[in-house]
Amino acid sequence: MAPTLYLYALAIPIAVFWCGKWVVHLIALIYGKVKLHKKVVQYPVEVPYPGVSILKPLTGVDPHLFGNLESFFTMSYPLYELLFCIEDDGDNSIMLVRCLQEKYPNVDSRIFIGGERVGVNPKINNMQPGYRAAKHELIMISDSGIRMKEDTLRDMVHHLKDDVGLVHQMPFSSDREGFAGTLEKIYFGTVQARIYLAADFFGVNCHTGMSTIMRKALLDEVGGIKAFGCYLAEDYFIAQSMKDRNWKISISSQPAWQNSGICDVNSFQARLTRWAQLRVAMLPRMIIFEPLSECMVIGGFASWAVSFLFNWDPLVVYLVHILSWFLCDWILLSIIQNGSVSFGKFDFVVGWLFREFSGPYLFVRALMESKIQWRTRTYHLKWGGLAEELKPKVKV
């Protein structure tokens, strides 16, 4: 009798969690259809647009950088400034920025070189001089790999309602050739999008700071961006500080179009591994819940659970589970893309299977790594998200 009770105590929570995952699927599909790709609303003539100071931290040059940066010079927004923050005075991106400044002399833009060390986070250190010089009431932080549409900034500002302190774009990917481009679009259009949309629906902090706009006064209340220099995942803690002060965070209707010139499977998987390391350090409960959220993992557990509870055929349940998950992801990707994707259904099947089977492996690899690599620097993560940089040993 006792072993049977233990099995019921295990099977019922698994079945409930499995049902909860399907609720998340449903919410993501409906909320994504309602929330995303809405026509940008123009402010009335008598209502002035607030000024926006855009921080652009740059490190190095890739084949798409010039076009990405140029998209910020051509935005249809009446009042903004571009603050390019470059750590190294020998960085080739300085030449690209100056070329664009000559091409668009009417756009307010400045370059800040050298950064300022205020913590372990290199991105915060790089942006600090630009932040101090910002003159507008809104601050936007935008990574170098982001490409903007003409009306994207207006869309983000429109979502900054009176009770909203921060608006961010849901990460997505531009159309790019090759398997790596397909894999990246599948990840951001399914796994990431599902969690992002459900989190925004429930008001949960799932902020990824690659393209975000916020009220500068709220940052200044806690000491500015340098107050978050002790974290590598500064984006999460910035958003959490606003939620802790009863400000809402929201996604805009336009996804962030990532358009980095570097697109290969190894670098993308290294990026996902690094993100998993950060999530586990900030939220240790993810050690249990994140693997269980994977399609193949939860499908296996759920097949056993419903087989035990209802005497259903576990193989049939597992196959139906995978097929249903697959179809939901295809529909969600089409919603995020707002039309047809740039690859065929066979490519989606291959990319989707690769992502689903590699996801648990990358998470385990993240747990096995005690250090986190960020460009040329190495860090040690502590529980709670604090980080310390590991300096290379000098041979004597």
14-367-385 Cα angle (round to 5): 100
For 297, the token pair is 């993992």
- The pLDDT of 114-134, averaged and rounded, is 95
pLDDT at 1: 46
Name which of 75-84, 180-189, 361-370 the model is least confident about.
361-370
Reported as half-sphere exposure (CB side, CA atoms, 13 A), residue 274 has a value of 16
Taking alpha carbons only, the member of 250, 130, 153 closest to residue 197 is: 250
Convert the pLDDT of each residue in 322-374 to its tens digit: 999 999 999 999 999 998 888 999 999 999 999 999 999 999 888 888 788 77
235 is catalytic: yes
Backbone angles phi, psi at 138, to 5 degrees: -115, 140
User: Which of 143, 155, 200, 235 is the catalytic position?
Assistant: 235
Q: What is the pTM of this model?
A: 0.92
Convert the pLDDT of each residue in 298-322 to its tens digit: 999 999 999 999 999 999 999 999 9
Name which of 4-8, 290-294, 357-361, 369-373 the model is least confident about.
369-373
* Structural domains of the chain, ranges and CATH numbers in brackets: 2-32+276-372 (no CATH), 40-169+210-263 (3.90.550.10)
For 93, the token pair is 């991106």
- The pLDDT of 90-101, averaged and rounded, is 95
- Using pLDDT thresholds of 50, 70 and 90, give the confidence band for residue 395: very low
- The pLDDT of 285-293, averaged and rounded, is 82
Would you mind telling me the total number of residues written for the chain in this entry? 396
Q: Are 355 and 272 in contact (CB under 8 A)?
A: no
How deeply is 121 buried, as exposed, middle or buried, from its count of CB atoms within 10 A (0-12, 13-18, 19+)? Answer: buried
307-336 b/e with 16+ CB inside 10 Å = b?
A: bbeeeeebeebbeebeeebbebbbebbebb
Convert the pLDDT of each residue in 219-272 to its tens digit: 999 999 999 999 988 999 999 999 999 999 999 999 999 998 888 999 999 889
- The pLDDT of 37-43, averaged and rounded, is 80
- The pLDDT of 134-160, averaged and rounded, is 96
Q: Which residue has the tokens 């756009």?
A: 107
pLDDT at 42: 74
The whole-chain average pLDDT of the chain stands at 92
For 66, the token pair is 């010039």
Taking alpha carbons only, the member of 177, 178, 145, 180 closest to residue 358 is: 180
